[in-house]
């Protein structure tokens, strides 16, 4: 077919370069060399220094044998070395594998083996567990201790050398190994996998570049933005914000402990404009000392994801002047790529109406080509009636390359040309998605589906409830019934009967929990309640 545009218009170096987030640091260090890139306690690094450290890291790793396609793992709190690694490791052509700091030795050993880890950067704060993991592991990676100046004195060293010594081996002007293909792997993040072994989710340079840009389109930052690291960087690469913040020339504020006083102090001291976190972090702030709360400047932007935030938490935080955006996503789609985008006409609604709208997961990022709620049998979109439940599916450039060394799981996840999230949701008439539950979290009682999320939302409205999580309990009559695990506020009290009554008043009777267990909630490091542990507890209850 005659097509005049198919001749003499090929890709050449001048017009075609791989998309990679590494370029954001180069650009920002060129334009803002003297701007503070990273604050960590009393330490500060300008963008010039940040890039120098990144280049030293890449150069030193290459000298020690790291090459394209190798795996460099890191176990660390949200400290500067972790930000370095987000650029320095990909600059070698290797893949950054960020490991959850709360994992036990066995799980870490599995990841080091499965990822064929070549180099491990390990925060000395986690040395005891990591040491055990290395003993369990069949590989012997090069181990580098990161001896963070803050709060880690006298920690044991388990590695061959310390991070700062590694940096001194490197060249601060090193240009790095060029990325020739934007599809090249950039990062490897293991899912928390409640059953079986975790799966290794692989990100590409292209996907990370686009998600970093997409973050900014739905939640804008600017060169005067100050971003506080409440969200763990090992969680979907801090949802790609190590790249977004740099692209926009903002300032990173590190945070070793995700603890309420440290958070609030940082918000005030560093004039923080943005932070991210699971709803649990919001709840933590909301229940902080009220004198402390009142000192936080109004207008701070929060992006929350990881679990659906109860409407009461959103309402409470907004009353304190925070501006909350809710996102939804999974490790497999680079963190959130659905956002509860706010429409100005909603400003006029009541607090309750606004909180209910904000609690919906929302619409796709401009950078994720398609997100829809499909019937997994027919692969057709469900009716946008806020009632018909389907599975949330994704298709676009911010979906993972696949699961590492797990073709079966990759093929299964991508069947019919979509990524299957496993999350159940309805679609509202305006196209906004609202999660009903993870497939496995739905409670089926007397043939009726009960959303644990919905029951939790009602529980959070009870004035004495601090936290709540609902799972299915075997029930002779109904098959399953909702069982709620509840923590009460320090100064409040409520009985099981009172809480059940409250639920029956605020929702269909069959959805109200039949059992209330007063107990601390087991959580992952990112604040997600570990429902598989609660399910185990429920089994024990049933057996009594």
Secondary structure class of 86 (helix, strand, coil): helix
| The token pair that represents 509 in the structure block | 């009777």
Region near a copy of itself per CB under 8 A, out of 21-29, 40-48, 73-81, 455-463:
21-29
Site map for a copy of itself, 82-121, x if CB under 8 A?
Answer: -------------x-------------------xx-----
**Any contact of residue 400 with a copy of itself (CB under 8 A)?**
yes
Of 202-241, binders to a copy of itself (CB under 8 A) are 202, 207, 210, 213, 216-217, 220, 222-224
Exposure letters 43-75 (e unless 16+ CB within 10 A, then b): eebbbbbbbbbbbbbbbbbbebebeeebbbbbb
| The token pair that represents 457 in the structure block | 């939302």
Please select the residue that binds a copy of itself; options are 45, 163, 394, 502, rule is CB under 8 A.
Answer: 394
CB contact at 8 A, 390 and 424: yes
Secondary structure class of 4 (helix, strand, coil): helix
Site map for a copy of itself, 426-465, x if CB under 8 A?
Answer: -----x----------------------------------
Rounded to the nearest whole angstrom, what is the least distance from the CB of residue 107 to a copy of itself in the complex?
19
Phi, psi of 268 (to 5 degrees): -75, -50
Please select the residue that binds a copy of itself; options are 14, 135, 490, 544, rule is CB under 8 A.
Answer: 14
Region near a copy of itself per CB under 8 A, out of 6-14, 81-89, 272-280, 323-331:
6-14
Angstrom distance (rounded) from CA 322 to CA 301? 6
Region near a copy of itself per CB under 8 A, out of 18-26, 52-60, 260-268, 478-486:
18-26
Kindly give, in sequence order, each residue whose CB lies less than 8 Å from that of residue 27, ignoring residues fewer than 6 positions away: 247
Of 470-509, binders to a copy of itself (CB under 8 A) are none
Please select the residue that binds a copy of itself; options are 157, 180, 295, 405, rule is CB under 8 A.
Answer: 405
DSSP one-letter code for 158: -
* Crossing angle of the two packed helices 311-319 and 279-286, in degrees rounded to 10: 50
CB contact at 8 A, 91 and 58: yes
Region near a copy of itself per CB under 8 A, out of 3-11, 164-172, 439-447, 457-465:
3-11
Of 505-544, binders to a copy of itself (CB under 8 A) are none
**Any contact of residue 73 with a copy of itself (CB under 8 A)?**
no
Rounded to the nearest whole angstrom, what is the least distance from the CB of residue 24 to a copy of itself in the complex?
6
Angstrom distance (rounded) from CA 535 to CA 441? 10
Of 151-190, binders to a copy of itself (CB under 8 A) are 183-185
| The token pair that represents 344 in the structure block | 């100005």
Secondary structure class of 521 (helix, strand, coil): coil
Rounded to the nearest whole angstrom, what is the least distance from the CB of residue 213 to a copy of itself in the complex?
6
Please give the span between the terminal C-alpha atoms of the chain, in angstroms, as a whole number: 75
| The token pair that represents 199 in the structure block | 């799966």
Site map for a copy of itself, 359-388, x if CB under 8 A?
Answer: ----xx-x--xx------------------
């Amino acid at each position: 077919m005659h097509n005049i545009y198919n001749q003499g218009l090929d890709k050449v170096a001048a017009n075609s370069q791989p998309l990679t987030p590494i370029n954001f640091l180069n650009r920002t260090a060129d334009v803002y060399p003297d701007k503070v890139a990273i604050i960590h306690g009393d330490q500060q690094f300008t963008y010039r220094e940040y890039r120098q450290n990144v280049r030293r890291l890449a150069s030193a790793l290459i000298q020690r044998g790291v090459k394209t396609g190798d795996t460099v793992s890191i176990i660390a709190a949200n400290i500067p070395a972790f930000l370095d690694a987000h650029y320095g490791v990909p600059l070698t052509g290797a893949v950054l594998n960020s490991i959850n700091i709360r994992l036990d030795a066995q799980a870490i050993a599995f990841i080091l083996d499965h990822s064929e880890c070549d180099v491990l950067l390990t925060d000395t704060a986690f040395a005891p567990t990591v040491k055990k993991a290395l003993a369990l592991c069949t590989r012997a990676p090069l181990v580098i201790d990161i001896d963070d100046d803050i709060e880690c004195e006298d920690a044991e060293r388990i590695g061959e050398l310390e991070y700062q010594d590694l940096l001194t081996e490197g060249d601060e002007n090193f240009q790095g190994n060029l990325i020739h293909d934007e599809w090249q792997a950039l990062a490897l993040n293991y899912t928390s996998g409640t059953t079986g072994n975790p799966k290794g989710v692989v990100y590409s340079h292209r996907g990370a570049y686009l998600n970093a840009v997409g973050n900014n389109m739905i939640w804008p930052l600017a060169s005067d933005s100050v971003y506080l690291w409440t969200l763990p960087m090992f969680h979907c690469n801090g949802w790609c914000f190590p790249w977004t913040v740099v692209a926009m020339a903002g300032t990173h504020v590190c945070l070793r402990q995700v603890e309420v006083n440290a958070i609030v102090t940082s918000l005030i001291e560093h004039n923080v404009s943005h932070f991210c976190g699971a709803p649990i972090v919001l709840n933590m702030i909301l229940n902080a000392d009220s004198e402390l709360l009142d000192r936080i400047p109004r207008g701070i932007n929060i992006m929350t994801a990881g679990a659906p935030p109860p409407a009461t938490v959103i309402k409470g935080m907004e009353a304190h002047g925070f501006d909350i955006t809710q996102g939804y996503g999974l490790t497999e789609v680079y963190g959130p790529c659905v956002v509860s985008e706010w429409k100005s006409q909603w400003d006029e609604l009541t607090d309750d109406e606004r909180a209910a709208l904000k609690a919906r997961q929302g619409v796709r990022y401009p950078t994720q080509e398609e997100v829809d709620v499909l019937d997994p049998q027919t692969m057709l979109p469900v009716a946008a009636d806020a009632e018909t439940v389907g599975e949330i599916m994704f298709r676009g450039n911010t979906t993972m390359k696949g699961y590492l060394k797990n073709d079966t799981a990759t093929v299964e996840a991508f069947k019919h040309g979509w990524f299957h999230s496993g999350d159940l949701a309805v679609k509202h008439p305006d196209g906004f998605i609202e999660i009903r539950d993870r497939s496995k979290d739905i409670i089926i009682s007397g043939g009726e589906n009960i959303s644990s999320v919905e029951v939790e939302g009602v529980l959070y409205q009870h004035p004495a409830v601090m936290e709540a999580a609902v799972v299915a309990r075997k029930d002779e009559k109904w098959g399953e019934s909702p069982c709620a695990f509840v923590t009460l506020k320090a100064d409040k009290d409520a009985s099981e009967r009172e809480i059940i009554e409250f639920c029956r008043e605020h929702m269909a009777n069959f959805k109200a929990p039949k059992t209330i267990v007063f107990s601390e909630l087991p959580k992952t490091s990112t604040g997600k309640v570990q429902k598989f542990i609660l399910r185990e507890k429920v089994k024990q209850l049933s057996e009594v």
